[in-house]
Amino acid sequence: MLTNTDLGKLIIRLTLGCLLLFHGIDKLMNGVGFIEAQLISLNLPAFLAWGVIIGEVLAPLMIILGFHTRTGSLLIVANMLVALILVHSHQLMLLGSNGGLHLELQFFYLMSAVAVFFLGSGRYTLRN
């Protein structure tokens, strides 16, 4: 029987997973050159940029399918923390012209992944 809780978990999983997956597909199609440049500027190896594929392709697919959902959500949390530190640290508390934070989208992904970690996948998963 479908419960509101299971439906809510499915909706948040699909929203987080699908929206973040679009970013991963873009990186698969267009490369990770921007991230490589950021890493090089910090004297870090450029190949680490390809880790974004884990956080923006593999992890969202795990969450969408409900396969090791909590692990997938932790991968997204790590991915978003790295993105905030590597690319957005200068914008952390800046307000936009509409009164919202510049980084609302990044915080949405981060906190939605934290919520999915604590909520779990619910009843509707690849395994059910």
Contacts of 54 (CB under 8 A, 6+ apart): 75, 79
Q: What's the pLDDT score for residue 59?
A: 98
Question: φ and ψ at 65, to 5 degrees?
Answer: -80, -15
What's residue 87's pLDDT? Answer: 79
- pLDDT given at position 94: 62
Mean pLDDT by 10 residues, the chain (128 residues): 82 97 96 92 92 97 97 97 82 67 87 98 83
